[in-house]
Structure 1
Amino acid sequence: MTESTSPAAKEVWITGIGIVSSLGEGLDAHWDALNEKKINFDDKRFAPYIVHPLAPVSFDAQIPKKGDQRQMEAWQRIGTYAAGLALDSAGIKGNKDILGRTDMIVAAGGGERDLAVDEAIMNADAKGNSSPAFLNERLMNDLRPTLFLAQLSNLLAGNIAIVHGVCGTSRTFMGEEAASIDAARIALARIESGQSEIALVGAAHNGERSDLLVLYEFGDFNLKGTYAPVWQREGRSGFALGSAGCFLVLESREHAEARGAKPYAKLTKVVADLAKRKQPGAVTKSLETMWPKLGVTGEAGQVITGATGVEPVTSEEKAFLRQHPGYAVRATGTMFGHTLETQFPLGLALAALSLSRGALFPPNDPTGTEVEKTGAPDQIVVVGTGHWQGEGMALVEAVK
C-alpha cells in the first residue's frame, strides 16, 4: 500500500485592510499617527474612567442608506464601516462575483443597553412602582422594535452582508479577545486547506459605553484617574477601553494572483491557547508553549502585542517578552486603548501594514520596554493575551 499524502497548504495573503479607531480612518492616517506618536484619549467624559473615543467618521461613505445606519448600534456601524474600508483596500468592493463567495468570520460582543429605559425602570422600582404589569408595559412601549435583535452578536455579519453584499458562508464568535484569535485561526486554516478562497475577518468595538464601563468595573479592570501607557500601569492595573473596527481580507495566493491583487503581507500561522489563569505564571507558560509553533526564525525581530495593562496578566506577558530580548515590542493598547475583540485583528493589520511599508512604527513608551528598530522587517509576531482568559499568537511575513 502507498501512503496518501495531503496537499500542501496554500499560502494565505492579506490583501485588504480596513481600520477605523481613535487615531482616524484608513491606512495612511493610522501610519502617520503611529509615526507621530499620537494618542487620543478622553479622561473627562466618563471620569474617573478613561476611554479612547472614535475619531470623527462620516458613516455615509461606507453605509449610504440612513435607514441602515439607524437600525444599527454604534459598534455595528463601526464594524460595517471598517469592513467596507477593507473591501475597498482589497479592490473587491462592489464585485458581486467575488463578494458572493467571500466567507465572513466575525468576532463580536453583545449589544448595548438602552440606558434611558433602564433608568426609568430602576427609578420606578425604587419608588415601589414596578409591578409586573408596569415592567411589561415599559418593555413593550419604550424599547425600539429592533433592540432585541440588535443584541444579537451575529447582527454585525448580517449588516455587512446587507450593506456590502458579502454573501459567502458566515460565522460569528463570541468570547472577547479569544473570539478574534479563533476567527483568524479558522479563516487561515480554511483557506490553507482549500475549503475557502477568500474571507473577510475582523471585529468592532464601541468603548464609549457607560454600561460597559460599569460591567468591567465590577471586575476591577478599568484604568482610572490619569492616563498612562500600557507598560506603566503595574502600580494601578487597568485598561482604557477604545472604540475601533478592524477587518482584513484574507485569500489564497492563487486567488489573489488570478485577479491581479497585491498583498500587504502573508499570514503564516495562528495559534491559540487557554491557560489556567488561577495558577501563577500560567500566561507566561502559555506564551512560551505557543512561540515555537509559529516557525519564527532568528533571535531578533518585532512583536506587536495587544497587552491590556491589566494585572497580573500583563506582568506575566512581560516576563515572556523578556525571554526574547532581541525583539522590539510595540503595545497597541497605549495608542488605541483596549478594543477587546478588535485587538487581535488590529495587531494583524498593523503587522501587515508595517511589512508593506518596510518599517516598524516607532515606540511610544517611556519605560524602556519598547525600543527603536531600524531596517525592513521580514517577520512580525502578533500576540494577543486576553484580560481574563484566552491567549494567541500569529506570524505575519513579508511576501517575497
Structure 2
Amino acid sequence: MKHGVVITGIGLASSLGEGIDTHADALAAMAAPVVDTTSFAPYPVHPLKPLELDRQIPKKSDQRQMEPWQRLGVYAAGLALDGAGLKDDAEAKAMLQVIVAAGGGERDHAVDSAILTGLRGANAPGTFLNERLMGDLRPTLFLAQLSNLLAGNIGIVHGITGASRTFMGEEQAGVDAIRTAHARIAAGQAEVMLVGGSYNAERQDMLLLFELGGFLRKGDFAPVFERETAPGLITGSASAFLVLESAERAAARGATILARLDAVVATRSKRQPGAVEAALRGLLADLGPVAPGALAVSAATGVAGVTAEEAAALATLPQARRVATGDLLGHAVEAAFPVSVALAAAALSKGQAREAVVTGAGHWRGEGAAHLVAP
C-alpha cells in the first residue's frame, strides 16, 4: 500500500531572511536578490541575513561549538518543527527520523593559505604537503568537520531521539535526502521525517574548490539562465528543512497541510552533450502529467551547458511559470534541492499555484525532480 506524503512544516533561512512568508512573497514578486560583490571579489555571494540564534538554539554553549553551516541548519530545522507543531511533542520527536544533506565541515583558512603559499616554492611538494597537514592541523578540527554533526546537533538542540542519516555528494545529496524520506513514508517504513540541508557560501575554502574546477562566476550578478556569456555558480548561504508526514498521520492529529509531495525521482547521466536534457525530460515524464500553468522551480546552477539543457527540458512543460531559485537566494549546493522544494511548497501553501515541479541538475553530476500539489 502506498501512503500519501504531505508537508506539514517548512523551515527556510537565506539571504532573504527567514520563514515561509518572507520567501513566498519574494518568489511571487521575484524580489531583487541580496548579493555581496566585494567581500570575496571577484566572486559574488548571497550572504546569510543575520539570525537571532537564541530563538532556536537557546544555549550559547551549543552555538559556540557549531560551525556556521551547522547553526544555520539547526535553526532552520527548528523553524520546520515549529511550523509542524512538533517542537514540544516528545512522543513525536521520539519517532521522528532525520535525514540531512551535508558537505564537509569548515576548514582552518589560515593554515590552508600558508600551505598553499608554501607549496609554490617547495622542492618536494608531496612531502611538504604531508608534513604540514600532519603538523599544522589541530586534531579537534577533524571532529568539527564531521558531516553528521549537523544531524547530531539537531537531535541535541531540539530533543529528537529517532534515527538519523546523513547523505553526502553535493547537489545529489539533497535530491536523495528528499527522495529517500518520501519513499520511506510512502512505503509505510516511517510516519514522520525531518529532512533538509544547509550550506554556508561564505567560505574561502569552498570558493577555492569551485574556482579550481572552473565553476564560479566572476563580476556582477546575472540571472541563472542568462550566464552563458560569463558562466558559473553564484553560491548562497541557505538552509531548508521539511517535516514530511503520512497523510493519515497528519489528518489524525489535525495538522495543517502546506503541500502534498507526490513524487521525487533522480538519475545520474554521463554528462555528454544533450545527456542532462534527456535525463530531465525522462524524470519529468516519470512525474506524470503536469497541468498547464504549473509553477516550475529550478535549482539550476548557472554553469554553462548544463543550465541551458535544464532550461530546454523545462520548456517542455505546458505554459509553466519558470523560477530559478538561484535568482532569489543563490545556489546552496547540498541544500539547493531542499531549498527549491521548500520554496515550491511555500508558494503552494500561499495559493500562488495549484501544482509545482522542482528540477535540479548538479554542477558536475546528478539530476533530480519532484512533483508537488497544493493541499
Same fold (TM over 0.5): yes
Q: CA deviation at 1:196?
A: 0.2
1:61 CA drift (Å): 1.2
Structure 1 residues 297-312: aligned runs within 5 Å: 297-312=290-305
What does 1:188-267 correspond to in 2, within 5 Å?
188-267=182-261
- How many residues were matched structurally? 370
CA distance in 2, matches of 1:121, 1:289: 45
Name the aligned partner's letter for residue 84 of structure 2: A
Q: Give the TM-score normalised by structure 2.
A: 0.94
Instruction: Give the Å deviation of 1:124.
Output: 6.5
Q: Tell me the TM-score normalized by structure 1.
A: 0.88
Q: 1:1-400 maps to which residues of 2 (within 5 A)?
A: 7=1, 9-36=2-29, 37-121=31-115, 136-139=134-137, 143=138, 146-277=140-271, 279-359=272-352, 377-399=353-375
Q: Is the 8 A contact 1:304 1:329 kept in 2?
A: yes
Q: Is the deviation greater in 321-330 or in 181-190?
A: 321-330
Native 8 Å contact 1:43 1:49 kept in 2: yes
- Which whole-Å CA distance do the structure 1 matches of 2:224 and 2:322 have between them? 12
Alpha-carbon separation, structure 2, partners of 1:388 and 1:127: 32
| 1:323 shift after superposition | 2.5
| Distance (Å, rounded) in 2 between the aligned partners of 1:128 and 1:346 | 43
Distance 1:125 1:285, change over 3 A: closer
> What amino acid maps onto 1:384 in structure 2?
G
Greater Cα offset, 291-300 or 348-357: 291-300
Q: Matched residue of 2:302: which SS? A: coil
Deviations 1:255-302 (A, max 9, x none): 11222211001100000010110x210001001111121123434422
| 1:241/1:297 CA distance change after superposition, 3 Å | closer
Q: CA RMSD in A?
A: 1.9
Offset, 1:398: 1.4
| CA–CA separation in structure 2 for the residues paired with 1:294 and 1:345 | 17
The aligned amino acid for 1:170 is S
| Cα separation, 2, equivalents of 1:153 and 1:178 | 15
Between 1:322-331 and 1:9-18, the stretch displaced more is: 322-331
Look up the match of 1:373: none
User: Aligned partners of 2:130, 2:366: CA distance in 1, in Å?
Assistant: 40
The secondary structure found in structure 2 opposite 1:352 is helix
What's the offset of the Cα at 1:314? 0.5
Are the structure 2 counterparts of residues 87 and 126 from structure 1 closer, same or farther at C-alpha, using a change threshold of 3 Å? same
Query: Runs of 5+ in structure 1 lacking a partner?
Result: 1-6, 360-376
* 8 Å CA contact retained: 1:12, 1:268: yes
Opposite residue 82 of structure 1, the aligned amino acid is A
Cα contact 2:291–2:318 (8 A) shared by 1 = no
Kept in 2: contact 1:205–1:243 (CA 8 A): yes
Please tell me whether the aligned partners of residues 100 and 177 of structure 2 are also in contact (alpha carbons under 8 angstroms): yes
1:180 aligned counterpart, secondary structure = helix
Letter in 2 for 1:382: V
